[in-house]
Amino acid sequence: MARWGVQFNLALSAGDAPGRYFRVPGRPSLGSRGRLDDRRALVMVDEWLGCELELRWAGAGEVAWAPVETVSLSESGFERIYQGSALLVLWPLRLRAGATWEMAIELGFGELAAGDPG
C-alpha cells in the first residue's frame, strides 16, 4: 500500500489571533499543528476578515496542518512570523498494475453570515 498526498499553502490574516481557527473540534488556531482522520473537508475561518476558506475532496482521507513561518530579528530578538498554513491531505492507495485512481479537490471561499462566528 502507498499513500498519495497533496499539499496546499493558504493564508488568512493571522495565525494565533482570536477569531482565526480551523472549524474542527476544539477550534485550533490557524497557527497550530494538527491531524484528523476520515475527513472530506477542512475549513479555515477568519472572523476579523469575515470570511472562510473550505478545502473539500471526494473521498475520505487524512488531513494534517502546520503553520508556515519565517524568522525575523527585531529589537526584541528573534521572532516567528506566521505566513500561512500548510494543509496536507493524504489517501491510502492500492492499485493493481494498469489501474487508475482519480480524486477531485475543491477550494471554496465565502463570507461569514452576519452574527455567525464561524
DSSP states of 57-82 as a string?
Answer: EEEEEEEEEEEEEEEEEETTEEEEEE
pLDDT at residue 46 in the model? 97
For position 101, what pLDDT does the model report?
Answer: 92
Name the CA dihedral angle for 56, 115, 9, 26, rounded to a multiple of 10 degrees.
-80
Q: Quick one: which of 44, 46, 43, 42 has its CA closest to 20?
A: 46
Quick one: CA dihedral 73, 79, 84, 90, positive or negative? positive
Domain ranges of the chain: 2-92+103-110
CATH of domain 2-92+103-110: 2.70.98.10
Q: What is the pLDDT of residue 23?
A: 97
Q: What is the mean pLDDT of each run of 10 residues along the chain (118 residues)?
A: 93 94 97 97 97 96 97 90 96 93 95 71
* Residue 62 cell numbers, joined: 487524512
